[in-house]
Amino acid sequence: MPSQFKRFTIPSVLATGLAAFALSACGGGSDDSSVSELAKYAPADTPVFVEGAVQPDSDVAANIDSITEKLVGANLGDLIKDGISTSGGSEIDFDADIKPWLGDNAAAFVDFDPSTLASDVVPDNSGITSFDPSEDEDKFGVIIQTSDTDAAQSFIDKQAEDEGGSKDGEYEGFSYKITSDGSAVGIVDDNVVAGSSEAEFKAAVDASKGDNLADAKAFSDVADHAADGALATVFTSNDPYLESVKEQGYDFSGLLSALGYQLEDTGSIASLVPESNEISVQGYSNAGSDLQSGDPSGVIKTFPADSIFATGSGDVGGNATKILDALNQEGIPGVLKPGDIDQMINESSGQIDIKGIVESLETVAFFVNGNSERTIGGALVATSSDIKPIESSLRGISSLISLAGDASVRPLPGGVAGFRVSTRELPGRPVVVGVKGDRMVIGIGMKASLTALTGQGPTLADSDAYKAADASISGEGLDMFADPANIAKLVVNAGAGDPDAQQIADVIKKFAYVAAGSGDEDKSFEFNLGLQE
């Protein structure tokens, strides 16, 4: 097998464990939304840990059925059972071979060196990255609760024999089998524990007897924030990534401290929550900083009603000022020296108060609209607590343009400060730079840009898709919105006559909205996919 594919192969016993997460569609009785004791089988320094209810309560199971029926017209549990039965080199019957011993929960931990990811971005001194998939294989383990350890052992024995035999091993009083592909699997306490290698099996046993993820501060501080009704929950730790960056020779501790970041012993948890008409990812992080995300929804909802995508951020000026001050104070090792930022700003400012303009920024957001390649456009919109310096500059530019008589660059109509630039590449859609009220806009297309400037005409606030998306966010406000119906129109028009384009559009049209939001106060975040009724 080519080395580039080797790292992605999953032994069938491990595949069975991973598939157990999705088999929750079969239904069951557990309704515990917090992560279970399975975290004690993961090493304390685990970067990524995933846990799911194999048998959730009936409401969650019904929601999964509702979603999969709408999306693919079939029951997810049945599809996965069929997949298990036809995978690998042996016949596996879920009801006969797996169901008799399958417990309430299953989990997986991934053990990898984050520096191998950084090496893709940061080259070594030779300019060649050191990442080699054949040498840097991801290592992982799976833990599956059992209701009958004897039945589980029988399944392990049968699978090992069908896959070409195995070698027996014993570690800390637990017996296990090493299969022909190098994976190891055995019964530990009342769980099936499988590792991608013998070392990962032993790591799970060691964790269960001592230092483990369940007792790690980064994990224990966020574990109770797993969402109710979750199908699966993912935990990621920040510490391995911080150490990796330091190992690469980049120490950002001073800069992070200046920005108020508290990342040591912190992590994030995200739960996949199926609703009858929505797929939601609800998360929480205990990492802190002095930066605030703000609420850009007041600007986003004024964008054109045919926007296919819109996103933004509030409190931009305050955040940007804090970042510039921190960079000026601490610099970036090997890139910026302390004081460089102030020097660069002073050299480029001239008569314009760059720092004052940056500090005055409130919300910055942008949108994309249009339903074909010839009509697609959009704009970047910034609101400011003091727009006068920018407005004065644009009015001066507009006056010069008027005197020059250039037909391709013209002032904006209606006394709006700014100008428009016509190009052959964008026929009928000039590039617009303008200011009105407390807004500055840099956009493509007069109609879209003027709507963004004035908030007049049909806007997202009038859109049913936007209203549903906004209502789905339980935090402080909507940060991102996408309209699947308008995206589907763009796909069809861009691929006119292409049957694949129509098929893609048909899938997209099954969704009603895409929305994301976050909250500074409770450190939560949310991403929702709404389905059509």
Please tell me the predicted confidence (pLDDT) of residue 482: 96
Whose structure tokens read 């997209």?
A: 508
Q: How confident is the model at residue 193 (pLDDT cuts 50, 70, 90)?
A: very high
Percent of the chain residues past pLDDT 70, beyond the cut: 79
Distance of CA 454 to the CA centre of its chain: 33
* Segment 392-430, tens digit of pLDDT: 777 766 666 655 566 688 888 877 888 888 887 777 788
* Segment 464-519, tens digit of pLDDT: 999 999 999 986 679 999 999 999 999 998 888 788 889 999 999 999 999 999 87
Q: How many Å apart are CA 521 and CA 384, to the nearest integer?
A: 24
Q: How many Å apart are CA 174 and CA 184, to the nearest integer?
A: 12
Please tell me the predicted confidence (pLDDT) of residue 111: 82
Q: Please report, as a single letter, which amino acid is at residue 183.
A: S
Please tell me the predicted confidence (pLDDT) of residue 33: 40
Q: How confident is the model at residue 56 (pLDDT cuts 50, 70, 90)?
A: low
Please tell me the predicted confidence (pLDDT) of residue 456: 76
Q: Looking at per-residue confidence, does 514 or 389 come out higher?
A: 514
CB atoms within 10 A of CB 424: 6
Per-residue b or e along 402-416, where b marks 16 or more CB atoms closer than 10 Å to that residue's CB: eeeeeeebbbbeeeb
Q: Which residues contact 455 (CB under 8 A, 6 or more apart)?
A: 302
Q: Please report, as a single letter, which amino acid is at residue 328.
A: N
Q: How many Å apart are CA 107 and CA 18, to the nearest integer?
A: 8
Q: Please report, as a single letter, which amino acid is at residue 367.
A: F
Residue 123: pLDDT over 70: no
Q: What are phi and psi of 409, to 5 degrees?
A: -130, 115
Please tell me the predicted confidence (pLDDT) of residue 148: 94
Find the mean pLDDT for residues 36-48. 89
Name the β-bridge partners of 108. 50, 142
Q: Looking at per-residue confidence, does 495 or 56 come out higher?
A: 495
N- to C-terminal Cα distance for the chain?
A: 45
Any idea where the domains of the chain sit in the sequence? 3-283, 291-533
Specify whether the CB–CB gap between 305 and 462 falls below 8 A: yes
Specify whether the CB–CB gap between 41 and 215 falls below 8 A: no
Model pTM score: 0.79
Q: How many Å apart are CA 471 and CA 469, to the nearest integer?
A: 5
